Amino acid sequence: MPLKIYIFENVRFGEIPKRFGAPSFPSWTNSSVQPVSDGRNCVQVDISVLRNPPGGENPIEVPERPLVPESEDCLFLDIYVPRWIIDEPDELAPLPVVVWLYGGAFAFGAKNHGGSPLYNGRGIIEASDYQTIFVTGNYRLGAYGWLAGDYMQGAAQPNAGLYDQALIFKWVQEHITKVGGDKDHVSAWGESAGASSVLHHLIREDGEVDPMFNTFAVQSPAYQWLWDNKKEGKLDQTYKSFSSLAGCGESFDIECLRKSTNLSEANQKLYETVATSGLFPLGPSVDGKWVTSLSPVALANGKSHRLTQNFHLPLPEKAHIYELLTRNKIAIRQVLEA
């Protein structure tokens, strides 16, 4: 079978982020081809060892973990491109783009997790008759990406994972034309934590910030009840618990956390000690800037970015949005061409 899709794997979109800091594009340029082996996933929580993993009565299943190194230097993305747009770039107009944000309780997951069809663009591209470009990238997880609270608002970057995702969308705006993509026709897709993330981009600063996509498709958004960002509130208490596990005591000392040598172990233990009820200990939190109120409240009050067109796709019981869209060419065209 002739090759129909080119895959540009482990494209670096961000330099190694400062611990608990905002991400940024690489500060250097390099004209050499980057080896695929340079790619890494963000540090994960192993939920297989938790007594009560996120999901309550329907706990999240543990996916097959890819044999990819984990590191704090993990801001890489993959691009799936129909071969013809590279080989014959002048024949048609640029192609619409799907950006996939993965799920995983904001604790685990990666752009290539377990080789799942959710995490590669082949199905979407085939269902669109090879008229779509698919992008998926990593964002920081657990405490690395989602510590928040009053102290973090002054000392570091709360909700850093959202900023990682925003950098993916910004990268698409600046670079997707190089592989035949249309930066003015970008669609954001996600499931579970990824779906919630998409909606949090819509409510950014009460909807006043352009999310850098035109349409979206989400399933089972995982909302967090992480709103208590007052001084010594619930979010600060989670910070102190994590700080203690990392060897910094129950004090507000971000520099100690940045120097800690057992942060990944502390991240794992936080989930083992906090997730006794099956609830998510970390995730998008009210921070007074990006998230000014719980996302369901913001959406209900109309504090979200107005896209040019909204529509609803009925989803049969027990069906998956990815399965629906990859088998329904009319539906996928609705999402991509709106």
Q: Kindly report the CATH number assigned to the domain that includes residue 140.
A: 3.40.50.1820
In the predicted model, is pLDDT for residue 290 greater than 70?
yes
**Is 141 part of a structural domain of the chain?**
yes
* Strand order through the sheet with 181-191: 5-12, 76-82, 133-137, 95-101, 181-191, 215-219
Looking up tokens 């997790």, which residue turns up? 113
Average pLDDT of span 69-91: 88
Q: Which residue has the higher pLDDT, 318 or 30?
A: 30
CA–CA dist 147, 158 (Å, integer): 6
**Is 256 part of a structural domain of the chain?**
no
Angle between helices 160-175 and 193-202 (to 10 degrees): 70
* Domain interval for residue 119: 5-26+35-148+156-225+285-337
How are beta strands 133-137 and 95-101 bridged, if at all?
parallel
pLDDT for the residue numbered 312? 47
Average pLDDT of span 213-236: 87
**Is 236 part of a structural domain of the chain?**
no
**Is 70 part of a structural domain of the chain?**
yes
- Residue range 96-146, pLDDT digits in tens: 999 999 998 899 999 987 556 667 788 889 888 999 999 999 999 999 999
Q: Which residue has the higher pLDDT, 298 or 168?
A: 168
CA–CA dist 96, 131 (Å, integer): 7
What SS3 class is residue 287?
A: coil
Average pLDDT of span 293-315: 76
Residue 10 DSSP code: E
3-class SS shares of the chain: helix, strand, coil, % to 5? 35, 15, 50
Between CA 32 and CA 162, with CA 160 as vertex, the angle to 5 degrees is 85
Beta bridge partners of 11: 77
Least confident window among 120-134, 182-196, 240-254: 120-134
The reply to whether 285 belongs to the active site is no
**Is 66 part of a structural domain of the chain?**
yes
Looking up tokens 């405490």, which residue turns up? 143
In the predicted model, is pLDDT for residue 186 greater than 70?
yes
- Residue range 14-36, pLDDT digits in tens: 999 999 999 999 998 877 777 76
pTM: predicted TM-score of the whole model, two decimal places? 0.89
**Is 192 part of a structural domain of the chain?**
yes
**Is 171 part of a structural domain of the chain?**
yes
* Top-confidence range, 39-43, 205-209, 322-326: 205-209
What the block records as the tokens of 197 is 């993330």
pLDDT for the residue numbered 334? 56
Which pLDDT band holds residue 1 (cuts at 50, 70, 90)?
Answer: very low
**Is 253 part of a structural domain of the chain?**
no
- Asked if residue 289 lies in contact with residue 265, where contact means CB atoms within 8 angstroms, the answer is no
**Those residues with Cβ within 8 angstroms of residue 332's Cβ, 6 or more apart along the chain or in another chain:** 124, 127, 128, 132, 325, 326
Phi, psi at residue 241, to the nearest 5°? -65, -45
Sheet strands (E) in 140-220: 181-191, 215-219
Q: Say how many domains are in the chain.
A: 1
Least confident window among 210-219, 247-256, 274-283, 320-329: 320-329
Catalytic residue among 128, 187, 192, 197: 192
Between CA 330 and CA 163, with CA 223 as vertex, the angle to 5 degrees is 85
Distances (CA, A) of 291 to 20, 188, 224, 337: 17, 19, 12, 29
